[in-house]
Structure 1
Amino acid sequence: MMHHPTALAYLVSAYPAASHTFILREVLGLRARGWRVATVSVNADCRDPEKLDLLEQQEQLNTLVLKKWSRLTMLFDLWQVVWRFGLFAVFASLRLAWQLARPGLRGRALGLAYWLEAMLLACWMRRQSITHLHVHFGNEASMVGLLCKRISACSLSYTIHGPDEFHDAAGQQLAAKVAAADWIVCISQFARSQLMQFSAPEFWSKIQVVRLGINADYAPSQRTPTSVFTILCVGRLSPAKGQMVLLNAIDILRSEGQSFRVVLCGAGPSEAQLQQQLTQLNLGLQVELTGAMSKEAVCQLYGQADLFVLPSFAEGIPVVLMEAMASGLPCISTRIAGIPELIEHGVNGYLVAPGDAYALSDAIRSLANDAHLCDRFKQQARITLAKHFCLEKNLDLLAQCFAEHCGGHHA
């Protein structure tokens, strides 16, 4: 069978997703460079198509969802896998799924589910004449990818973000996933170092760094001056993002008589807890929770803010920080994971210890009262983004990786 030399399957646990717009940009960028990228999602995107922009609607419509596989055709397709790839490959992959499954009844059941999804994916890839599978994140989707390779002998690569994968490296079977991959992209040196920690040294050469990025022209259409110094935080409302620390820092500053407005943009499991904290601290008039917003609306928020704060406990290298820097906002974040590869403390932003509300309040106070320092951070931030986090340059690097490992051309 003739295979398209530039055909790729992109597998993600949930695609498209509001928090993964960088994957959408990546897919579109690779297509613009001549690659045929077919997208596969383990779970369905449950967002209302009418609330999505045109590009997201198209991706939602054209993405294969493994959990929505037609029950009428599933048995036939599973038989096709046995027929095309042989009983040995099928049973070897089933044995591998059992070996790598988490202990316990639920773990074994999930392992069988991943194996079944891998069988369906292998069948679909053969129909599409695709022989390379790329998986974002080292989570359950990457286990499906590993099993798919064992069934079909396709080539396999991952993009590893961290830090979630590293919190349970044994449970996620990172060592086995690294061994099975033909090559691996990490979005930061930090992620690469952690993957090296959990894998055998003979596999380190297959792990390389290709960063995410932001468009050079990303910026609000116009900046809207505000009467009160406005602090913006964009991210999922979850314990890992540290929004509670920001509220405590604002409470400290308010006790000193300083006036601030805070906008928390996002939705998530911590919303009720944050609302309760606002009530306890009596910050309801100073803090606004916007809920989830579209990309365009978030861009407008960047234009209405004076400072961006992301007080996270766990991150990769957040694209929202890149967006804020590109939007001309001075930024404060935490000295964790890959963030110091983006923000150099005292040069293009401030970094504080995670969980330290007093250090965060000091950093906010410093920037709120020093326009010259804010301007210097903004200028240096643009230099950093252009040098290391330019989306087009990094997409060129990623496309080159695919060209070197998968054949085809690099536009």
Structure 2
Amino acid sequence: MLPSCMVPDGRLKNGARQIRVACIIGSAEVGGAEHLMLSVMRHLPADEFEWSVICPSGPLVARYAQVAARVGAVGRRSLLNPLVIMRMAVLLRRWRIEVVHTCLYDSDAGGILAGRLSGARRIISHIVGHNFYVTEERGWHRARKRLWSWLYRGVYLLADQLIAVSEAVREDLVSRSGITVSPRKVVVIRHSIAPESAVVSAGHVERVRRLCGVTDSSVVIAAVASLIPLKGHRYLIEALPAITGSIPSLRCLIVGDGPSRPAIEQQVSRLGLARHVVFTGVLDEEEKKAAIRLSRVVVLPSLSEGLPVALLEAMALGKPIVATDVGGIRELIDDQVSGVLVRPRNSDALASAIRSVASDPAWAEQLGRAGRRRFEETFSFSEMIDRLRALYLTGQSRCG
């Protein structure tokens, strides 16, 4: 049976029984979706909800255990494994889970099936991006991804409610070719970040400064994202030679890790950019925010996005953004007002935008201030929490 950290079931607080909610999430690595769910569990009223978590092994398992009554870790096996699905269903039934909340596609598919098998009364899936979005795959890989692009939403027919993190994600769910879901099943709840996420200690900034070899004369840009093809790092690296010619003190921080890292490192070497590019690997939350704080510009050259947490963090910290005009990014940024948007897969446009912002500190500061105002006015963390609470308690939430 899956290992779990257990406390007595059916815990009572203030004389009222808590609603038992299980978060089934397909990753315990450091990432935006993972920290979103951690933040939700921390901030929903503890006297109303008792949390359990089912997830793969990873560095965040201990963090999940700090906010959940129970954590069931499934090792490195996929949550789509039939044996894992059956074991998840056993845990959900044993823990008498009433609401199942899934996040990330493997856990959506496996978690929805496990929730149905367990008899949970309500199943909610949190859709944070464009699943099976065809980008740069070739041959059989492209054909297979196109097939899944048609089929993947079938599992959502078994869910009670779908949460889309942006209007772009909602539109994709209900209109992309293939199996679709009813618009009535989808509610848009734009995610946000907790107020404490906008605070960065001077000690963490100094530590990251030393780690990355940043000096007082460095002009720092940062790309905070998993190193996967969808995030478009290759286009950022292609853009750098056109920037370093006019900004020789440029330092580009590649914050994150992933399967594309060897290819990106080879590209950096091939273009002779080793002295300008720093691969930080995965940073903890405080160090990641410090890397953003150090940056003159935060860059996200993605090919597809739901509503990227890294850009919300940059906005909260008052940092200007250069990003591609895809998916939910355009719901975050007013072009030329709170950031600069460029076409995806266009290294020349990316280079021009980064160079313009990075070489003009006054404009960069103006963009950053506007971004922070937009974040504070539009992406309320308390509203996100209130609307999720309404979903758990009543199943009702207004779209918007």
Normalised to the residue count of structure 2, the TM-score between the two structures is: 0.80
Alignment of 1:256-295 (within 5 A): 256=246, 258-295=248-285
Matched, 1:342 2:332: yes
**Which residue matches 2:71?**
63
**Which residue matches 1:171?**
148
Displacement of 1:57 in angstroms is 6.0
Matched, 1:220 2:197: no
Match of 1:125 among 92, 96, 108: 92
SS state of the match for residue 171, structure 1? helix
Query: CA separation in 1, counterparts of 2:172 and 2:61?
Result: 36
Which sections of structure 1, spanning at least 5 residues, go unmatched?
A: 70-108, 407-411
**Which residue matches 1:44?**
57
Choose 317-326 or 249-258, whichever is displaced more.
249-258
Q: Deviation digits for residues 253-272 of structure 1, max 9, x if unmatched?
A: 23346541211111112222
**Which residue matches 2:318?**
328
**Which residue matches 2:126?**
159
Q: Deviation digits for residues 101-123 of structure 1, max 9, x if unmatched?
A: xxxxxxxx997x33x33332232
Alignment of 1:5-44 (within 5 A): 6-15=19-28, 17-19=30-32, 20-32=34-46, 34-41=48-55, 43-44=56-57
Would the aligned equivalents of 1:7 and 1:131 in 2 still touch at CA under 8 Å? yes
Query: CA separation in 2, counterparts of 1:162 and 1:202?
Result: 15
Counting helix residues as a fraction of each chain, which structure ranks higher? 1
Displacement of 1:165 in angstroms is 4.2
Would the aligned equivalents of 1:136 and 1:159 in 2 still touch at CA under 8 Å? yes
Q: Tell me which amino acid in the other structure corresponds to 1:209.
A: V
Alignment of 1:316-395 (within 5 A): 316-395=306-385
For CA contacts below 8 A with separation 6 or more, give which structure has more relative contact order.
1
SS state of the match for residue 37, structure 1? strand
Would the aligned equivalents of 2:319 and 2:371 in 1 still touch at CA under 8 Å? no
Match of 2:112 among 129, 141, 146: 146
Q: Tell me which amino acid in the other structure corresponds to 1:186.
A: A
Query: CA separation in 2, counterparts of 1:200 and 1:304?
Result: 45
Would the aligned equivalents of 2:92 and 2:118 in 1 still touch at CA under 8 Å? no
Aligned CA RMSD, in angstroms, stands at 3.1
Displacement of 1:56 in angstroms is 5.1
Go from structure 1 to structure 2 and tell me whether the alpha carbon gap of 1:68 and 1:364 turns closer, same or farther (over 3 Å shift).
closer
Query: CA separation in 1, counterparts of 2:181 and 2:294?
Result: 50
Match of 1:203 among 182, 185, 202: 182
Would the aligned equivalents of 1:178 and 1:203 in 2 still touch at CA under 8 Å? no
Alignment of 1:290-301 (within 5 A): 290-301=280-291
Q: Tell me which amino acid in the other structure corresponds to 1:193.
A: E
**Which residue matches 1:79?**
none
**Which residue matches 2:388?**
398
Displacement of 1:400 in angstroms is 1.4
Displacement of 1:376 in angstroms is 2.2
Q: Tell me which amino acid in the other structure corresponds to 1:260.
A: L
**Which residue matches 1:187?**
165
Query: CA separation in 1, counterparts of 2:95 and 2:249?
Result: 59
Displacement of 1:398 in angstroms is 1.1
Query: CA separation in 1, counterparts of 2:173 and 2:110?
Result: 19
Query: CA separation in 2, counterparts of 1:29 and 1:368?
Result: 36
**Which residue matches 2:222?**
232
Would the aligned equivalents of 1:236 and 1:268 in 2 still touch at CA under 8 Å? yes
Number of residue-to-residue matches in the alignment:
358
Which sections of structure 2, spanning at least 5 residues, go unmatched?
A: 1-9, 12-16, 135-144, 207-214
Matched, 1:314 2:293: no
Query: CA separation in 2, counterparts of 1:61 and 1:279?
Result: 47
Would the aligned equivalents of 1:15 and 1:60 in 2 still touch at CA under 8 Å? no
Displacement of 1:396 in angstroms is 1.4
Would the aligned equivalents of 1:233 and 1:263 in 2 still touch at CA under 8 Å? yes
Structure with bigger gyration radius: 1
SS state of the match for residue 14, structure 1? coil
Would the aligned equivalents of 2:23 and 2:100 in 1 still touch at CA under 8 Å? yes
